[in-house]
Structure 1
Amino acid sequence: MISTTSQDRDPDRTAAQVILCAEANQLRQAISTHLLHRSNEDGSLDDQCESRIFESVLMSLLLDRTKHTQFRLANNKITRFLIAEHSGADRFHKNLIDFLISPKSASANGAFTHFPRGLQFTQSRKEIVFRSILAELGAQELNFSASEALMVGYGNQANWVNIVSCAVRVLAHAQSGIVVGKRDTDYLRAAVSTPGPTGVYEGHVFAHIMALLALQRVGTAEQFVVDGIHALLRHQREDGGFPFVTTMKTFCTVTAALGMLQCPGKEDAALRAASYLVSVQQPDGGWGYGFGVAQTDADDTAYCLELIRSCNQRHFQGPIRRAEAYLVSISAHGAGVPTFKADHTPEVAMTAGAVNAFDLNDVKYHRVTTSWLQSLLERQKDDGTFERSWSLSEANAIFRSLKAFRGALSSRLFQPMYDRIRMAHSASVQYLLAAQNSDGGWGQLAGSASDAISTAYSILALPPENAAQIWQGISFIVQSSDSGRVYSIPDQAGPRPIPWNVPVLADVTALWALNHALALDS
């Protein structure tokens, strides 16, 4: 709580400001305590990904085609979930539900027309994926021709993307009458047969369902498909739906720990989380997004490296060096950092995350961090924004980039870049100031309704000079909370740009923002 002596030291503070500061302190304490209670003894933390229409429709289709009475109850639960979600769904998801439940009212062209677009990454591949799904749901006019089907391939993608792409290849061949190759079906069978500790391949429900749909379509042994269905049914949610993924353990653990590290009295919890993360670092030096996920990525790795470096523990030096080497190796020839593979397109949020994870006073990596910063400067748009990535909020890439810029400005090694960095930093700040809504919050895009996660990212992007706008945002976050929890619309996307939700991430991002604001008040 803020005492009256604090107010006496700053006579310009109003009673309302003192009260808001006290509320922010209370909410920070409540969130950090909640996260601590949710954590496991080893310091890890996970939260359930909520049900989604997309996977639920696909799972219902899979169960319908299996025609086993043992799955009737599970499928009825899915149907009830989809009916309940129909009225609030966007037009694309409404059409998916209609194809499944009332095909006569469904429109293939409508569904494909309203397929969510807007993020440039792998757009054409995703259109092929959704087209194949709609064709399986009954939109015969979207069936692949023989020539088109032969063009569908897979390989050199993230593990689950390879599985989805292979499944689409099998479905496209089946739809066009081409004989499906044994290599493709063997590839899918191997994935489903080695699902890892969650029982679902890479914890990725969407990929697992797609593999089973494709195998079922070409007459794979019925018991093999049934066994795969049983594994999926273990992850059916109470509301009857199915999630996008089964686990986000690494991401939840590291983001929560980064917040706890800045909370008075919670530093030991952050250190336990860091120790857990070090214990699950992959042989290549990176981390995957969840428990038992073999595919590593730059996003989780950058956050994990940032955390374990901040803990300042001598025995973390080995893991730090391996994580640094991983991020350098995945960097696209020094021009930026992609999410999964060195020859993939670099992404701003991944590049900024990597900069934030490195010691910018370390001359050893000065050349590569300089190239990453140059990439950020070149990728900034004229209005001060950057491309969106795995977050639907444009403020996510802005906050991560501005944090990288401020880090560079604090190191003399980057002095030749100071002027360009200051200009870029100013452009993004001015954009955010103009985008702030009258309720004090920010939306995922300028002009959209405020939400707690986008507001948290925007607060984190703003420097101390904008304390008034920061505290207006904190007021919105406080109003978005109830009983020590913060509530927001989904922020994460996958397959991009379809949103999915892990509720604890709203608490985590709010905690980051509260730490940022309260540090200004100390």
Structure 2
Amino acid sequence: MSGHTWPMITGRYRMRCEPATGTRYHDIPLDPGAFSTGLAALARSVAGRVDNEGALRDHCRSRVLESALALRLLERVPAATEPVNLHALRAFLTDHTTSPDGLDRVLADLALGTHAALPDEAIEAVLDHAPEFTRGRKRALLHGLVRLLAATTDDSRAELESSPGAFDLRGLHPWAKTQVTAVKVVLAATSGRIDLVTETDVNRLKRTQRHRGIWEGNVLIHLWVLHALAYLPGTEPEIADGITRLAPHQRPDGGIPFITDTDTWTTVTGGIALATVGGLESTCAALREHVLRQQKPDGGWSVTDTAEVTDVDDISVALQFLHLTGDPAVRGAVESGWRALADVAGEEGGYPTYVKGAPSEASMTVAALDALTLQPLRHREALRRGLNFVVEQQRPDGSFPPDWSSSRWHTIFRAVLMATRPGLPPVPGTDQMVRKAVDLALSTQHPDGGWGQQDGDRSDPVSTAYGLITVCGTQPDPQPAAAAASYLLAHQRPDGTLPTKPDVIGPRPFVFYVPLVADIFCLLSLAHLHQRTNHHHTVPAQAGHPQTRTDRMDRRGP
């Protein structure tokens, strides 16, 4: 990775996340030198994160939810606490008792014993930001969370009996099945109904502990499983071993993350971003080889290299990145990816996140359709049906139902990109969908040039990146895009990166943070604007080499 100099950015962009049609801007009110310098600095920063395995890696940062569960678990089984720094864990939670996030404050207080309950309004606020079809499961999870963190044995029987659908495993992927089972065990044990726990439940939980590391890289589910097992006899060895495997993921700030990383996702999205700047053939070739190695037996890709559960989003973006590389050798992998997408498509034309039979979602359908536009004639019928689904999902204000981002602009910008591709079949309402989305962006852009995650929120860089792509090239006035770019450049650090409000969600609606993800989308947005300009200037080459990681990152933290 470190053997090449930084190339000139010439405007020969091949960004798959760029529509082939749209307005070109001639007199954009933006300093071209400052813009090119900022774009190059961000591109160098992202390229510098490619390691010697061809992956773009970054750790998931600590989160209060997992840290609170970890502290309570270690207090329940004190004999197994040695590998974890309890003092640092408590200090992390103490720091968050004054967090501006109300839910974080309550969870930290619950774990530290200074609060006895999760207020009803906090529960409802969480549920209001979750997709409708997940509400029953989320409500049960929150009640189980209170049982664990408040260390109570209050009667949870009403929750078990009134929400039977919350424990229905049909249509769920393995992560959800395991989490639902663990929540069921916790609620059953704390309500005196341990008889509701079946041998199948116990075996499902124990199977996750037969791995060398954290099962599927999901620390939250790992903690839920250990808590559930602690209510069952004869599980002490699994719990002690599970805590030992948790310890390496304690972050330098003392906290515990949601997942270990999102390295496959950052590699495929970052690959698309880096392919836009051109001249990085060796870097993109290394990324391509890594992506090919991460393809799973079902033809799909997962969010992280250590997981096996594939999802529509990663499949869709991996297909786009492999297409960008232009290598005929990827044809077999791409064909397998097409089949993986087809295997999960819903009867109504939409796509769920994980498995066939689960509810289709606008965000995942947009992602899948954008990949299918690589070969619009071949996938014409799937595109037609999918477009109908997306059009019907749009809300009156131009937004879409909640997705895997806390920013409403995430699905919006991807829907606009997909719907402006060439070769799409004519579907009534498609043009109106694009107009409504773009009009929403234009009417809500803040005076500072940015956008916030939701109506009334302050501007943040990643939401602004999403908004910039939404307005760029879809309407004739260059001012909104220029103002957004100015906002991003004003917030750029000397190393090219941007500090931003976390927006990625898992499980919905809990937000987690992988900083590299935000930098990648900011790079994509600036590249979109560069694509729409006259290209009358180039970005000068920089002396030296990009900072390239040549060793695998320590899994304890960045």
TM-score calculated relative to the size of structure 2:
0.85
- Whether 1:143 and 2:156 are equivalent positions in the alignment is yes
Q: CA deviation at 1:388?
A: 2.4
Distance change in 2, residues 1:382/1:153 (3 Å): closer
Q: Distance in 2 between matches of 1:2 and 1:228?
A: 48
Q: CA deviation at 1:42?
A: 2.9
Is the partner of 1:291 in helix, strand or coil?
Answer: coil
Question: Which position in structure 2 is the counterpart of 1:309?
Answer: 323
Q: Deviations over 1:45-74 (max 9, x none)?
A: 110100000000000000000122753862
Task: Report if aligned partners of 2:171, 2:358 keep a CA contact under 8 Å in 1.
Answer: no
Q: Deviations over 1:74-120 (max 9, x none)?
A: 22211100111221242222222222213456555465355453232
Describe how 1:132-281 pairs up with structure 2 within 5 A.
132-138=144-150, 139-141=152-154, 143-145=156-158, 147-148=161-162, 152-154=167-169, 156-178=171-193, 179=195, 180-194=197-211, 199-281=213-295
Q: Distance in 2 between matches of 1:302 and 1:150?
A: 34
- Whether 1:517 and 2:523 are equivalent positions in the alignment is no
Q: Distance in 1 between matches of 2:26 and 2:115?
A: 69
Task: Report if aligned partners of 2:136, 2:163 keep a CA contact under 8 Å in 1.
Answer: no
Match of 2:433 among 424, 427, 436: 424
Match of 1:57 among 68, 73, 76: 68
Q: Distance in 1 between matches of 2:300 and 2:327?
A: 19
Q: Distance in 2 between matches of 1:475 and 1:232?
A: 42
Task: Report if aligned partners of 2:127, 2:138 keep a CA contact under 8 Å in 1.
Answer: no
Distance change in 2, residues 1:83/1:399 (3 Å): same
Q: Deviations over 1:336-360 (max 9, x none)?
A: 0110011111111111111111245
Q: CA deviation at 1:12?
A: 5.8
Is the partner of 1:449 in helix, strand or coil?
Answer: coil
Distance change in 2, residues 1:209/1:463 (3 Å): same
Q: Deviations over 1:253-282 (max 9, x none)?
A: 011111000013224322321221112111
Identity of aligned residues (%): 27
Question: Which position in structure 2 is the counterpart of 1:481?
Answer: 492
Is the partner of 1:363 in helix, strand or coil?
Answer: coil
Q: CA deviation at 1:426?
A: 1.1
Question: Which position in structure 1 is the counterpart of 2:462?
Answer: 453
Question: Which position in structure 2 is the counterpart of 1:100?
Answer: 111
Q: CA deviation at 1:141?
A: 4.4
Distance change in 2, residues 1:428/1:70 (3 Å): closer
Of 264-273 and 312-321, more deviation after overlay is shown by 264-273
**Which amino acid is the alignment partner of residue 169 of structure 1?**
K
Q: CA deviation at 1:23?
A: 2.0
Match of 1:67 among 78, 88, 101: 78
Question: Which position in structure 1 is the counterpart of 2:349?
Answer: 335
Q: Distance in 1 between matches of 2:73 and 2:402?
A: 33
Is the partner of 2:480 in helix, strand or coil?
Answer: helix
Is the partner of 1:383 in helix, strand or coil?
Answer: coil
Higher relative helix content: 1
Q: CA deviation at 1:129?
A: 0.7
Q: Distance in 2 between matches of 1:515 and 1:379?
A: 29
Q: CA deviation at 1:361?
A: 4.8
**Gapped regions of structure 2 (runs ≥ 5):** 1-7, 11-24, 536-558
Number of residue pairs the alignment of both structures matches: 504
Q: Distance in 2 between matches of 1:85 and 1:343?
A: 39
Distance change in 2, residues 1:361/1:296 (3 Å): closer
TM-score calculated relative to the size of structure 1:
0.91
Task: Report if aligned partners of 1:360, 1:366 keep a CA contact under 8 Å in 2.
Answer: no
Higher relative contact order (CA 8 A, sep 6+): 2
Describe how 1:272-421 pairs up with structure 2 within 5 A.
272-359=286-373, 361-407=375-421, 410-411=422-423, 414=425, 416-417=426-427, 420-421=429-430
Is the partner of 1:376 in helix, strand or coil?
Answer: helix
Is the partner of 1:506 in helix, strand or coil?
Answer: helix
Question: Which position in structure 2 is the counterpart of 1:125?
Answer: 137
Distance change in 2, residues 1:235/1:313 (3 Å): same
Q: Distance in 2 between matches of 1:137 and 1:282?
A: 37
**Which amino acid is the alignment partner of residue 171 of structure 1?**
V
Q: Distance in 2 between matches of 1:359 and 1:448?
A: 34
RMSD: 2.3
Task: Report if aligned partners of 1:153, 1:166 keep a CA contact under 8 Å in 2.
Answer: no
Q: CA deviation at 1:143?
A: 2.5
Task: Report if aligned partners of 1:135, 1:142 keep a CA contact under 8 Å in 2.
Answer: no
Q: Deviations over 1:474-520 (max 9, x none)?
A: 01111121121111100101111111000111110110011001111
Question: Which position in structure 2 is the counterpart of 1:443?
Answer: 452
**Which amino acid is the alignment partner of residue 143 of structure 1?**
S
Question: Which position in structure 2 is the counterpart of 1:7?
Answer: none
**Which amino acid is the alignment partner of residue 173 of structure 2?**
A
Q: CA deviation at 1:156?
A: 3.9
Q: CA deviation at 1:304?
A: 0.3
Task: Report if aligned partners of 1:98, 1:106 keep a CA contact under 8 Å in 2.
Answer: no
Task: Report if aligned partners of 1:96, 1:111 keep a CA contact under 8 Å in 2.
Answer: no
Task: Report if aligned partners of 1:63, 1:71 keep a CA contact under 8 Å in 2.
Answer: no
Task: Report if aligned partners of 2:412, 2:437 keep a CA contact under 8 Å in 1.
Answer: yes
Q: Distance in 2 between matches of 1:67 and 1:352?
A: 48
Task: Report if aligned partners of 2:472, 2:532 keep a CA contact under 8 Å in 1.
Answer: no
**Which amino acid is the alignment partner of residue 447 of structure 1?**
G
Q: CA deviation at 1:364?
A: 2.4
Q: CA deviation at 1:186?
A: 1.8
Q: Distance in 1 between matches of 2:171 and 2:311?
A: 14
Of 172-181 and 96-105, more deviation after overlay is shown by 96-105
Match of 1:24 among 35, 38, 46: 35
Distance change in 2, residues 1:330/1:69 (3 Å): closer
